[in-house]
Structures are given as structure tokens and as C-alpha cells.
Amino acid sequence: MVSTKRIVKSASSNWLSYAISVVVAFLISPYVVHQLGNLAYGVWSFVVSLISFLGLLDFGLRGAVTRFVSRHHTEGNHEAAGKALSAAFWLRLWIGISVVLISLGFSFVITRFIAIPKELQFAARIAVLVAGSSFAISLTCGVFAGVLAALHRFDLLSTVTILQTIIRAAGIVWLLRSGHGIVALALLELVVISAANATLAFLCFRIYPQLRLSFGRPDADLLRSFWQYSSYVFMINVCYQLISYSDNLVVGAFVSVSAVTFYSIAGSLVDYLRQLVTALTTTFMPLASSYEAENKDDGLRNLLIQGTRAALCVSLPVELALCFRGSTFIGLWMGQSYAQISGHILQILVCSQFFTLANATSGNIAYGIAKHRPVAWCVAIEAVVNLTLSILLARKIGIYGVAWGTLIASLGTHLVFWPVYICRILRVRLLTYLWQTWAYSAVCFLPFALACLLSDRFWKPTTLLQFFLQIAAILPLFLVGTAMLFWNRVNPTLRARLNSLLHYRSSL
């Protein structure tokens, strides 16, 4: 059984990897733009975006690997775990070959999508093919990362990601200083991704020596099991892609192109918040599979309560700070001309994220115990309602209507469907769940919310440094809220340490 210490270590390593990726991207992006120039950088960005879109071809297979391997490993059925890995690798190998062929086709027609000067056309075609090959390798070998996730070795996954990020950044700086262009960047990506995935494969079999990989065609029953699980994961991923990335398109089409900047500023902050919580809750999926394999229903129920509290402990203070102080932060960060509009959009989007992130633990439990089929249809309805409302409201009230469309659509899924559904499949009383998680968390962080509101009204910062110092000044209220939220776990630990200290003193 995975210990609490392992969960904390996994989440911490995920957060460290995420933080390093954000900082490196923040520091290196201006340098890349300056060295490549607007034109070449635009071509490179288009190539990366074009290839990244092929990520939907994963069809949810990594989640399937994590689900099946975690369950079979817990049961001690290593042969079945090896068959699951082999089936996913076989499927992804063919998908990877398809990605290379699609990239080859893209390389011939890319000049029809965007106007590329003749001197960059050959480089763009090569970059598309090489980037597609890199993505194919990452897609095919991603099953080994799924195995490490199933074994709850997120620390190893994060270490590889951190090294990959640092080596890639150093290579980019060296290549651009040497006068190389986008082809060299694509080749660097190919080398780094190949090395990273070879490392993941090595770690996979080192950590799980009983695992065996075969290259033959899997039997039909196993493929059918994979499809029954991953097809709905794929459907959910597509719908969430539509929900997450359609807003900017609607703003550009029905408001104005310039308004996209105001919306994307708020959207980027919400996206960072979502990734922060995902780094924690993604560790719950293999844990849920293990509990199911051991028939530990109490473990699943405890994971639901404590995991939801942990997700809210991470997300709620950030949401409160963005809601009450978001306009101030945006004004200091991007300029006062963006503060009012982007700040109001941020407040609306943060309200929708409270319910979305409050159910992040529920989602990973549903994935872990393969109860996500109804979720797929619910999310599909949310995606359609989101797009429809955003278009209708954008015509009525402009840019704010797009944000309101997102909020209203999310309420049906995350305020109504998720609490009822997760409580039904885990046999938990709905009111008990809502009080012990959502309501109790809100009460615990009420002092922090009040401090954010008052500090923004009566303690106006003039620089970003002052803003962050103010947040640090009210941070003890967050720590108090966290202690209240997990007092049942903190109190026994404090008592044990106090008794140990008293026993030590008495022995002297």
C-alpha cells in the first residue's frame, strides 16, 4: 500500500517539476524570440502547435496503462501487467508511425496554411517532420511513464522531466548563440526526447523487474478492455480541450481579435492554477486502483474526503487571492490598461474553477476504478453548452459573456453531477461529503479570504514585490486554515511529539 509519505513526496516532486518548467519558460521565451526574430519564431510556434494537436491521438492509452498496471501490480499478477503494457505499446507504436506519416504530409502542405518566406520554407518542412518524429517517440514510449505512475513513482517522472527541461533550455541557448535556427531546435528536441524516454524505459524495468514486454499482437479481449476504458478517456480529453481552448476563438470571432489578449491573460492564470492542482490529484488515480484491487472501500471513501480537502487546500487560497486581488496583480504584472477587464474576467473564471477543482479528486478516483463512462457524456454536454452559451452571450454582453458561458456550463457538471455521482458509486452521504470537504474548507479559509479583501481595499501595492510581500504577510492565516482543515491528522502528531518531549525531559 502506498504510504502518505509517498503521496506527499510524489505531489511535491510534481510541483517542483511544474515550478521549474514555468520559470525556465518565463526566462527563456524572450531570448528565443529575440534570437530567432518574430518571423522565424512565429513559424516555430506554428510548427509546435500543429504537432501538439496530434496529442489527441493518444486515445487515453496512458491512463489505461496506469489503471491496469496499478491494479495487476497490487494483485501480484505480473503477467497480466506485462500484457497490459505490451498491448498499449503495440497500439501506440502504430499510432506513432501514423504520426510520422501525418507529419510528413504536413511538411508538404505547411506553406498553404501560413505565408512562409522562401528562405524559411525548407527549414519549416524539415522542422515539421523532425518535430513529428519526436512526438511519435514520446507518444510510443509514454507507456513507460504510465507504468511509473501506476507504481506511484512520480518522483522519478518529475526528475526526468526536470533534467529534460534544463538540458533542453541549455541546448536552445547554445544553438541560438551559435547562429542556428529552427531545424537545429527541432533536432535538439528529437535528441532530448529520445534520451528522456530511453531513461523512462530503463527506470520502468528497473523498478518493476517482473514486468515483461512482448511485441506480438495482443489478443482481442485485452484490446477490447483497453478500448472500453480509453475510448471514454479520449472523449473526455477532447471535450475538455474544447472547453479550455474554445473561449479565445469565440472572443476573436464574435468580439474582436484585440480582445483575445484581455481574455487570455485571465485564462493563463486560471490554467496555471489548474496545473498546480493537477500535480497533486493525478497521484490519486493509481492509489484508487490499488484500493479497488484490495477491496478497500473505506480507503476509497477516505481518499475522497482527504484528497478533496487537500485539493481545496491547494486551490482555494490561490482562488481567493485571484478573486479579490486579481485585478491588482494584473495591473502590476501586465499594466493598468489590462487590470479592469482582465480582472473581471478572472473573477468569473475563478468561480467556475472552484467547483471544477473541488472535483479533481473525484475525477481521478473515477478514472482509477473505471467508473468514468457517465462522466464522458456529461462532459460532452458541458462542452456543447459552453460553446453555445459563450457565442450567444458574447453577442449580447461582449467579452464577459464568454466567461459567463463557461461558468454557467460548468455548474451543471461540477456543482450537480459530480457530487451526486461520486457519492453514489462510493456510497457516501451527499450532505456528509459536502460538509466535510467543500463547506468545511470554505470555513477554514474564511479569515484568509477576508484578509485578501481588506488588504486589496486598504493596502494598495505599487510594485509586484510589494504585492508578494503583502501575500506573505497574510500567509499565516492560510497556515491556520490548513491546520484546521487537517486537524484530525495534525493533532495526534502534535500529541505524540509532545509526549515524546515530556518523556525525554523526565528521563533527564
Give me the long-range contacts of 374-381 (CB less than 8 A, separation at least 24).
374/421, 375/232, 375/236, 375/421, 376/232, 376/233, 376/235, 376/236, 376/239, 378/413, 378/417, 379/235, 379/236, 379/239, 379/240, 379/243, 379/413, 380/235, 380/239, 381/412, 381/413
CA distances from 253 to 249, 256, 341, 398, 406 (A): 6, 6, 18, 11, 16
Assign 505 a pLDDT band (cuts: 50, 70, 90).
Answer: very low
Q: Which three cell numbers stand for residue 189?
A: 528536441
Helix (H) / strand (E) containing 24: helix 4-52
Q: Closest Cα partner for 415 from 353, 494, 495?
A: 353
- Decide if 330 contacts 340 (C-beta within 8 A): no
Q: Which three cell numbers stand for residue 393?
A: 452571450
pLDDT at 49: 66
Residue 430 confidence (pLDDT) above 90? yes
pLDDT at 54: 73
Assign 44 a pLDDT band (cuts: 50, 70, 90).
Answer: confident
Distance CA 503, CA 484 (A): 27
The pLDDT tens digits of the residues spanning 163-218 come to 999 999 999 899 988 888 888 888 998 999 999 999 999 999 999 989 888 887 87
pLDDT at 384: 93
- Decide if 185 contacts 127 (C-beta within 8 A): yes
The pLDDT tens digits of the residues spanning 253-271 come to 788 867 877 888 888 888 8
Distance CA 64, CA 128 (A): 29
Q: Closest Cα partner for 88 from 128, 26, 45, 141?
A: 141
Helix, strand, coil % in the chain, rounded to nearest 5: 90, 0, 10
pLDDT top residue among 18 and 342: 342
The pLDDT tens digits of the residues spanning 101-112 come to 988 888 887 777
- Give this prediction's pTM: 0.76
Rounded to 5°, the CA angle 103-109-113 comes to: 110
- Decide if 211 contacts 68 (C-beta within 8 A): no
Distance CA 402, CA 251 (A): 7
Q: Give the range among 233-247, 370-384, 395-409 with minimum mean pLDDT.
A: 233-247
Calculate mean pLDDT across residues 144-167: 89
- Decide if 185 contacts 44 (C-beta within 8 A): yes
Amino acid at 435: W
- Cell 471535450, located at residue: 239
Residue 304 confidence (pLDDT) above 70? yes
Taking all residues of the chain, what is their mean pLDDT, rounded to a whole number? 84
